[in-house]
Amino acid sequence: MGWQVTFVYLPAQAQRSSLRYFTENWRGPMQNLSGLTVRTALLSTAMLAGAAQAAVTVIVPGNSNPNLAGRADGYACCSGDAAPTESPVTVAGLALNAGDVLTFTVTGSVYNAPGSPTGNMGDGTPYGDVMANYGDGLAAPSGLDRINALVGVYLGPGSPTGTATPARLSFAGGLAFASLAPEVGQIFFIGNGLTGDTYSGDQGGQAQQFTVPTGATRLILGTSDGFGWYNNSGAFNVSITAVP
């Protein structure tokens, strides 16, 4: 099922009575009518739906600790952090369906201490396997050699606290993946959302695709650090788009 949209470029003499000219000369798409160029374009309903689907934008402060995703107020973690003060940011206004694919546009920088952010933007800075696995229903990524990067986690409606911790998602294979399909409760690297690496000064590349898992009702965003998010500085500006 599709929609047909026709773009007609009329010569000057036809503009005076363009509708009449059009109806009298129309014989179908892709015709050249006495110098008239008639072009047609087919837009699928899916494309129209996608065009109508605006990106959702959120601010993610540097002190957003992903280990506090979905935790009740007062839950403490990670040497000095507690909900809600260091809680990560729940993306509002984004309907999640299993199998949906999200892409991210990220600007800004964060820093794992007070002061000026490093300027490495979403992909952060190499720092060894920085994210400790605090568990309790949320699994830190393993082999993620980046501090001060944007990370996310999908959750269902309930708190992860007291539930089984899923396996850690490994990033030992690198950060230039084309797509990623995390499970609920697996904290994952997003970076700047592109295959390029802002640490290397590369702000280009392809948009990386993040699949929404079964059971996810919330997307929650934070930053990568090892402990003590409370004194972190800077912020990311993140736009999330569902690929039609």
Binder of Ca ion out of 64, 112, 186, 223 (CB under 5 A)? 112
Centre a 10 Å sphere on the Cβ of residue 23 and count the other Cβ atoms it contains: 9
By CB under 5 A, the residues from 194 to 213 that bind Ca ion are: 194
Q: What's the closest the beta carbon of residue 172 comes to Ca ion, in angstroms? A: 16
For residue 67, state whether it binds Ca ion (rule: CB under 5 A).
no
C-alpha to C-alpha distance for 237 and 231, rounded to whole angstroms: 19
Segment lying near Ca ion (by CB under 5 A), choices 81-89, 102-110, 145-153, 189-197: 189-197
For residue 123, state whether it binds Ca ion (rule: CB under 5 A).
yes
Q: What's the closest the beta carbon of residue 165 comes to Ca ion, in angstroms? A: 23
Binder of Ca ion out of 103, 192, 223, 241 (CB under 5 A)? 192
By CB under 5 A, the residues from 222 to 241 that bind Ca ion are: 228, 231-232
Q: Which of 61, 52, 31 is nearest to 150 (CA)?
A: 61
Residue with the shortest CB distance to Ca ion: 191
Pure H helices in the chain: 12-15, 18-25, 45-52
Q: Which residues fall within 8 angstroms of residue 233, CB to CB, at 6 or more apart? A: 62, 110, 111, 113, 114, 115, 116, 117
Sort 12 into a burial class: Cβ within 10 Å, 0-12 / 13-18 / 19+.
exposed
Give the tokens for residue 142. 């393993």
Binder of Ca ion out of 124, 191, 213, 234 (CB under 5 A)? 191
Q: What's the closest the beta carbon of residue 71 comes to Ca ion, in angstroms? A: 18
